[in-house]
Amino acid sequence: MERIDSPKKLQQNIEACTKAFEDKIAGKGGRRAIVVCGGTGCLANGSNDLIAELKKLIEERGLSEKVSVNHVGCFGFCSQGPFVKIFPEDTLYRMVKKDDIKRIVEEDLIGGKVVEDLLYVDPTTHEKVARQDDINFYKRQRRIALHGCSLINPDYLEESLGYDGFKALKKVLTEMTPQQVIDEVLASGLRGRGGAGFPTGRKWQFAANQVSEQKYIVCNGDEGDPGAFMDRSILEGNPFEVIEGMMIAGYAFGAKDGYFYIRAEYPVAVERVQRAIKDMEAVGLLGDNILGTGFSFRAHLRLGAGAFVCGEETALLNSIEGKRGMPRPRPPFPAIKGLWGKPTCVNNVETLAIVPYIIRVGAEEFAKIGTEKSKGTKVFALGGKINNVGLVEVPMGTTLRELIYDIGGGIPGGKKFKAIQTGGPSGGCLTAKDLDTPIDYDNLVAKGSMMGSGGAIVMDEDNCMVDVAKFYMEFICDESCGKCTPCRVGTKRLLELLTTITNGTATEKTLEDLKSLAETIKLGSLCALGQTAANPILSTMNNFPEEYEAHVKDKKCPSHVCKKLMSYVIDPAKCKKCSLCARNCPVNCIHGVPGKEPFVIDQSKCIKCGTCIIKCPFHAIEKR
C-alpha cells in the first residue's frame, strides 16, 4: 500500500477498501469468502489446521481464484468452536474438524448444498440454524468493542480500512479540536471498562489540563482476572481499532507516544499488535505529521511478565519503567505524574476500542445504549458451569437472567444455578435473587460485587462457596506484591483462616475473625488489589452464611467439595460386587468379596481421590 499522507488519500483508501470488502462479503462475481475463527479457544482446538486443509483442497480443486480463506478474530461462541463461515450465504459451520473440511469443499463450495450436520442446533427447538444472526446466543448481543472481530483479517490494514477503520481518526484530525474530542467522550458517558468505571473523558481532561511537552497514553492490556479474555480477543481480532482509539486519546490530551502493555502470556495478541503498528508506520498512519495535519504519534509495545498487580495502573507504570510492579501511592495521580514522571492516562483495551465508535456515530447515539449511569455495551467472558461458554457483548442494563439463560443457554446437566462471580478476585458473587438485576457498574457495586474487567463465572450446586473464596484468596496471596503490610500479611492470615474452615478445625470465632480481618485489609491497603482482596470472602459470607456455618458447626461441606469434610460411601443395595472400584483404588482401601459381598471403603485410609466414583458403572458410590 502506498503512503497515506493526506486526509484525501485516507478517504480514497477507505472508499476503495470498503468497496473491496463489501464486494467480498456480497460474493460479487460469483466469488466466495471463507473466514475461520483464529481466536485463542479455536486456535487451541486446531483452527490453523482447518485453514491449511481448506487452502490445500481449494487449490487442488482449482478454486483458488474463486474462493478466499482468511483467519479472523474471536466469534465469541467458544463452546461451539472452531467456526468456519462462508460468504455471501452467511452459512456458519460449527465444531468443525479437519475431516469435515473435505465435505465443506465438495458439498458446499462445489455442490452448492449446505452441510446440514455441521450447523448449529438450537437446544430447545432442536432446529438447525444456518445463519449466525439467527442463533439465540447472538440475538441479544451488540458488537461495538468487538467490532470487526470474526469478520476482518486482523493481519491486514486493508481489511480494517474496509470495515470502518480510521474513519474516526480522520474525523478528529480534520474536523475536531482536542477539547471537542474530550467533550464528545464526556458526553457519551463512557466509563473505564477495566474495573472501577471511572469516566474516561474526565481522565482525559485531567491529563489535558497539565502543561507538559511530553505526555503518554498507556493501553492496559494486562488482563489478569483469571477467566476474562475479552481484551485478548479484541487485540487479536481487531488491533487497529485499539490503536485508533489510542491515537484519538493522544490527540485529545496531547500525548505523542502510546504504550501498549500486554501480558507475555498472550503471544498471538502481541504479534498482531506488533504487525499492525509496523504496517501503520509503513504507510505513515503512525509517525510524524500524520495525514499532513501536524499531529505526530508513535505506538510502542511493552510486555507484562506475569504479575496480576500490574493491572493496577501505577504498578503497571512501574513495570514499563523496568521496575518491580509495585503500586505507587495516589495522589499524585498518573494524569498529573505518571510514566517517567509525565502526565499519563492509562486506559483499558476495551475502553479504547469503543472510542472510535463514539466518534463515528456521535456521543448522543452511543448514550442511547445502556442505563442512566452506565452507557454503551460491556463484553463479558461467560465461563464455568454454563452451556454457552464464550465472549458476549451486551448493552449495559441487560439482566443476569438474560445473560445466563437467554444468551448463556443455562446450566449444563440440569443442575441448579448457585452463583455468578463477576469482577474476578476483586469482585463478588451474585445469586439467584439477583437474577433480574440489570447489570451496570453501580448495581453490581450495590450488590457487593463489581464489574471488573467482565469475567463472569457461573457456579452450580456442585461448587462450594467457601472453596471458591479460598481459591480467590490463594490467588491474591500469590499475587500480592508485598509492598504494604495489610495486603501482604493480612491476605495470608485470611487464607489460613479459610483453610481451617475447609479442613474442619475452625470454631465460631473463626468467622468473626475472618470478617474483622477482611474489613481491616479493605481499609488499610495501598492499592485496589488489597482494598478489594477480601471481597470474595465478604460476598460469599453474606450470600451463603449457611454454607460457612455447615463447615464450621456441622463439619460438613454441603457441596461435597472440601475433602476433609466429605466421604465416599458405597451403597450396599446398589453395589453389584464387581470389584471394579477396588481394583482401581490407588491406596487399596476398598474391600469386599467379588460376586459375594458388597464392597466397603475403609474411611481411615481413603485419600478421597474420586477414582472409584468415576469407575463404578452402577452409580453405587456417593459423596456424603
Please state, in angstroms and rounded to a whole number, the distance separating the CA atoms of residues 32 and 423: 42
**Amino acid making up residue 471:** F
Q: Binding of other proteins at residue 341 (CB under 8 A)?
A: no
DSSP labels for 172-188?
A: HHHH--HHHHHHHHHHH
The stretch among 159-167, 179-187, 274-282, 302-310 that binds other proteins (CB under 8 A) is 302-310
Dihedral, CA of residue 264, residue 310, residue 195 and residue 136, to nearest 10: 10
Residues 70-89 that bind other proteins (CB under 8 A): 78-79, 81
Q: Does residue 222 interact with other proteins by CB under 8 A?
A: no
**Identity of the residue, 515 or 608, whose beta carbon is nearer to other proteins in the bound complex:** 608
Q: Measured from the CB of residue 37, what is the shortest distance to other proteins in angstroms?
A: 11
Q: For residues 352-371, which are near other proteins according to CB under 8 A?
A: none
Q: Which of 167, 580, 611, 613: binder of other proteins (CB under 8 A)? A: 611
Report the residue from 457, 469, 495, 527 that binds other proteins according to the rule CB under 8 A: 457
Window 111 to 170, contacts with other proteins (CB under 8 A): none
- Measured CA to CA in angstroms, residue 332 lies from 20, 203, 216, 346, 380 at distances of 49, 13, 16, 14, 32
| Segment interacting with other proteins, rule: CB under 8 A, options 17-25, 297-305, 363-371, 496-504 | 297-305
Smallest distance, other proteins to C-beta of residue 81, A? 7
Q: 3-state DSSP call for residue 338?
A: coil
Alpha-carbon Rg of the chain, whole angstroms?
27
User: Please, which residue, 50 or 468, has the CB nearer to other proteins?
Assistant: 468
566 binds other proteins (CB under 8 A): no
Closer residue to other proteins (CB): 248 or 590 = 590
Stretch that binds other proteins, among 55-63, 141-149, 240-248, 318-326 (CB under 8 A): 318-326
305 makes contact with other proteins (CB under 8 A): yes
Task: By CB under 8 A, tell whether 319 contacts other proteins.
Answer: yes
Stretch near other proteins under the rule CB under 8 A, chosen from 40-48, 136-144, 172-180, 279-287? 40-48
Binding status of residue 40 toward other proteins by CB under 8 A: yes
Q: Does 45 bind other proteins (CB under 8 A)?
A: yes
Determine the number of helices (DSSP H) and then strands (DSSP E) in the chain. 25, 20
Tell me: does residue 587 bind other proteins (CB under 8 A). no
H-run or E-run covering 93: strand 91-93
- Torsion-angle region of residue 292: left (phi > 0), alpha (psi -120 to 50) or beta? left
Q: In terms of Cα–Cα distance, which of 460, 455, 465 is closest to 411?
A: 460
- Please report whether residue 95 would count as binding other proteins according to CB under 8 A: no
Phi and psi for 384 in degrees, rounded to 5? 85, -140
Residues that contact other proteins, how many (by CB under 8 A): 54
Cell 461441606 belongs to 557
The helix (H) or strand (E) run that includes residue 40 is: helix 40-44
109, 565, 612, 613 from 608: Cα distances, Å: 53, 10, 9, 10
Does 44 engage in binding with other proteins (CB under 8 A)?
Answer: yes
Q: Which stretch binds other proteins (CB under 8 A): 172-180, 284-292, 467-475, 491-499?
A: 467-475
Q: Which of 383, 454, 486, 558 binds other proteins (CB under 8 A)?
A: 383
Q: Which CB sits closer to other proteins, 200 or 559?
A: 559
* Closest CB to other proteins among residues 93, 366: 93
Binding other proteins (rule: CB under 8 A), the pick from 110, 180, 340, 603 is 340
Tell me how far apart the alpha carbons of residues 613 and 570 are, in angstroms, rounded to a whole number: 9
Determine contact, residues 188/201, Cβ cutoff 8 Å: yes
User: Phi/psi zone of residue 424: left (φ > 0), alpha (ψ -120 to 50 degrees), beta?
Assistant: left
Q: Which of residues 390-409 bind other proteins (CB under 8 A)?
A: 390
Give me the 417-446 binding string for other proteins, x by CB under 8 A, dash otherwise.
----x--x----------------------
Rule CB under 8 A: say whether 475 interacts with other proteins.
yes
Please report how close the Cβ of residue 325 comes to other proteins at its closest, in angstroms.
6
- Comparison of 190 and 389: residue with beta carbon closer to other proteins: 389
Contact 289, 3 (CB under 8 A): no
Query: For residue 324, which amino acid is it?
Result: R
Q: 262 or 494, CB closer to other proteins? A: 262
10 Å CB burial of residue 167 (0-12, 13-18, 19+) is: middle
Nearer to other proteins, 321 or 496 (CB): 321
Interface with other proteins (CB under 8 A), residue from 384, 409, 428, 454 = 384
Binding mask 226-255 for other proteins (x = CB under 8 A): xxxx--xx----------------------
Residue (of 546, 569, 563) closest to 502 by Cα position = 563
Query: Sign of dihedral through CA atoms 213, 299, 329, 449?
Result: positive
Q: How far is CA 555 from CA 351, 400, 547, 549, in A?
A: 46, 33, 10, 9
Determine contact, residues 84/42, Cβ cutoff 8 Å.
no
The Cα–Cα gap between 363 and 355 comes to: 10
Residue closer to other proteins, measured from CB, 85 or 302: 302
**Binding of residue 264 to other proteins (CB under 8 A):** yes
Based on the shown chain and the rule CB under 8 A, indicate whether residue 198 belongs to the binding site for other proteins: no
Least gap, CB of 278 to other proteins (angstroms): 16
Nearest by Cα to 317 from 346, 349, 350, 351: 346
Where along the sequence are the contacts to other proteins (CB under 8 A)? 40-41, 44-45, 78-79, 81, 224-229, 232-233, 264-266, 302-308, 319-325, 340, 381, 383-385, 389-390, 421, 424, 455, 457, 459, 463, 468, 471-472, 475, 481, 609-611, 614
